[in-house]
Amino acid sequence: MSVADSQRRVCLQLLAQLRPHWRRDPALPDRIQRLLAANRHFGGRDRRLYRELIYTTLRFLPWIEPLLDHEDEEAVRRLAWLAADTPDTQAFRQAFAMGEAPTGDRAQLLPAWFEGHCPEVFAGSELEAQCRRAPLWVRLQTADANAVFNELVSLGCRLRRSAALPDAVEVQGKADLTATVAWRAGRFEVQDLGSQMVLGSVGVEPGGRWLDACAGAGGKSLQLARLLGPTGRVDAHDIRPAALTELRSRAARARLDHIHPCSRLDAAGYDGVLVDAPCSGSGTWRRAPHLKWITSEALVARKAEIQRVLLRRLAALVRPSGRLVYATCSLSRRENQDVLAAFLAEHPQFHRAPFADTFGFDPQGAGLTIWPARHDSDGYFVASLRRA
């Protein structure tokens, strides 16, 4: 059996194993990782090839899935055309990308119900962006950028510094970033550009005490701590102990001793509160295409209710003249503009705080949508408020 035939056979086997799960498993990326790691015959290049083919399938599922039962040759041909052109996929593409490139209505590659939530991603450059995998971005945590750049370039990485945020750098390459000296020394963190723009847009003033109320593993807590400077303080809260454990490790690596993970909130209040709310994650569909097929309108409605409750509760912790920042990695207006409008109607003591930077996007009142296509990022929504 030729190498190409073997790759074709293994690809179809992997897809058959994953097919029962890709419309129901929120943790599908973990399942994919375990599946690829379990095959001791795979080398690094094999795993990168099959990971790309699997994620291409998920990204273009309506164009691939119907062919898997009776037309697997055509499914493989389409995959070869649609997969990213990398050194790892080159041989597969040369063997199977025959005939004409597949075409069709790309709006079919998004859930039809989502058009009522975000019509903007169903046309033009935003629709095209949804068909491409998102790049890897890091955020510099050092003034000595050259030390980071020199090490990454020596490992074969290609770097592109963002024109929007000087500390944001796109990294292309196969290097394990977590094995680098620069990462171990806390000189950079992996953080999507759109995520970095959330705090970059609102103009955090140095000093003061802030609460990161839904901190998770602390990506925005680390960025917030750097923006506040050593005279500031970040209380990082999350209901998941494991997330706070990882946050402590990241803060220690970055040498940021003014981040304080906490399980209880200070009733005395804060100069600023960041509510990076749990959401449907529709802004991350480029990076996590499986979410397109497990997200429903009912899930969005449940998340929106949680978001409304969180905003009401956490707004009480904002001191007079303090800041309230609401953010999601969703593009659904139900979780963004609708939640914000309901909150402002119930809380007249909060008003719009001007954005420090809109990165070329058009604010709508107190809200700003960070669209993926313009800067090649994930999608986010951020609202900038101040208490009277």
How high is the pLDDT of residue 263?
Answer: 85
How high is the pLDDT of residue 56?
Answer: 98
pLDDT tops 80 at residue 302? yes
pLDDT tops 90 at residue 66? yes
DSSP 296-324: -HHHHHHHHHHHHHHHHHHHTTEEEEEEE
Where residue 333 falls among pLDDT bands split at 50, 70, 90? very high
Q: What is the mean pLDDT of residues 305-331?
A: 98
Q: State the chain's mean pLDDT as an integer.
A: 96
180-238 tens-digit pLDDT: 999 999 999 999 999 999 999 999 999 999 999 999 988 999 999 999 999 999 999 99
Q: What is the mean pLDDT of residues 139-156?
A: 96
By annotation, the residues acting in catalysis are 329
pLDDT tops 90 at residue 130? yes
Q: How many CA atoms lie within 13 A of 278 on its CB side?
A: 12
Pairing state between β 259-262 and 232-237: parallel
Tell me the whole-structure pTM to 2 decimals.
0.95
How high is the pLDDT of residue 369?
Answer: 98
> Domain extents for the chain?
3-103, 136-190, 193-387
3-36 tens-digit pLDDT: 888 999 999 999 999 999 999 999 999 999 999 9
pLDDT tops 80 at residue 1? no
Contact 105, 349 (CB under 8 A): no
How high is the pLDDT of residue 24?
Answer: 95
Q: What is the mean pLDDT of residues 129-137?
A: 95
As a whole-number percent, the residues of the chain with pLDDT over 70 amount to: 100
- Which residue type, as a one-letter code, is found at position 181? V
| CATH architecture assigned to 193-387 | 3-Layer(aba) Sandwich (3.40)
- What the block records as the tokens of 329 is 């990695």
Where residue 264 falls among pLDDT bands split at 50, 70, 90? confident
Give me the CATH code for the 136-190 domain, please. 3.30.70.1170
Q: Which among 66, 48, 369 has a CA at the least distance from the CA of 198? A: 369
